[in-house]
Structure 1
Amino acid sequence: MRTRIAAVMMTVAGITGLTAAPAMAATATSEPGTTACTTVLNRPCVSPQVDGEGIVGVAQVVADPAQLTIVRVEVRTQAAWGSPWETAASAVTVRLGSAKAVTPRVTTTDLRMICATAGPALDTAKQVTTCTGPF
């Protein structure tokens, strides 16, 4: 059941994100220890880094070099199925052009999800939020 709900959530988020911002696809290069993903202009690319010591949420966004850009990333946890998602760690970066944010490490056995919001810092209507499926 969780898998079906997560699949529906990801599909809706993907459709919403693609219709909300202009799509200029490019392949992102990844640093050691990060997951490579396809980036879309002003749409965050989320990659959790999980190891034996915990989880770190990483989000990056590709933007016009002259644009003031914000990227916000959160590690969210859920203590029990159906309970609310709570933010366990977060990070925000604001800068001109492309940006990246990395959360502090979170150690938990609860269900986790990484969410990121990114886009033009001065135009919240053009900011896009994307999340991983629960894991």
Structure 2
Amino acid sequence: MRTRIAAVMMTVAGIAGLSAAPAMATTATAEPGTTACTTVLNRPCLSHESNSGGVVGVARVTADPSQLTVVRVELRTQAAWGSPWETVASATTVRYGSAEATTQRVVTDKLRIVCATAGPALDAAQQVTTCTNPF
């Protein structure tokens, strides 16, 4: 049992490491059809819509209108606890000011997370990555 708990903790630590940007990203939880975080410049807000037709991941970022902004959202699945997360759908938007990206709808019964990276397109060091909790 302790081995299994340790494996789960290592998986969680791995997810946190994958979702870290130059500064540690905060984790946002999302409920279907809602945005789970407050508006903060250059920090992505995540949501997902999950129904019998599949799952869609959405990421929004608020930015200065003169800033070239990038937002990338990924829908990832995991076949079983401890196995690697695989990206099954992604979308990227680059534009001036605030931006939004939405993945394609994916039908799956596997464990899922939505991750997003957003911030100034010309300065990767200031981009922030955030992921939802598995759902």
Fold conserved (TM > 0.5)? yes
Q: Which residue of 2 aligns with 1:45?
A: 45
User: Is 2:52 the counterpart of 1:16?
Assistant: no
Cα pair distance change 1:61/1:132, threshold 3 Å: same
2:34 corresponding residue in structure 1: 35
Distance in 2 of aligned mates of 1:17 and 1:50:
24
The 3-state SS of whatever aligns with 1:42 is: coil
| Unpaired segments ≥5 residues, structure 2 | 27-31
**Equivalent residue, structure 1, for 2:29:** none
Instruction: Output the amino acid matched with 1:93.
Output: T
Q: Equivalent residue for 2:64? A: 64
Tell me the residue number matched to 1:101.
101
Q: Tell me the C-alpha RMSD between the 2 structures.
A: 2.5
SS at structure 1 position matched to 2:92 = strand
Partner in structure 2 of residue 55 of structure 1 = 55
Residue-by-residue CA offset, 1:85-111 (whole Å, 9 max, x unaligned):
000000000000000000000110100
Count of paired positions? 119
Q: Distance in 2 between matches of 1:17 and 1:39?
A: 15
Equivalent position amino acid for 1:35 in 2:
T
Distance 2:103 2:133 in 1: 18
Maintained 8 Å contact 1:6/1:133: no
Say whether residues 1:127 and 2:127 are aligned partners.
yes
Q: What's the TM-score, normalizing by structure 2?
A: 0.78
Q: Which amino acid in 1 is paired with 2:97? A: G
The structure whose residues are more often strand, as a share, is 1
**When the two structures are superposed, what TM-score results if normalisation uses the length of structure 1?**
0.78
Consecutive unaligned residues of structure 1, counting only runs of 5 or more, are: 19-32
> In structure 2, how many angstroms separate the alpha carbons of the residues matched to 1:101 and 1:65?
17
Deviation at 1:6, TM superposition (A): 5.5
Cα distance change on mapping 1:6 and 1:35 into 2, 3 Å: farther
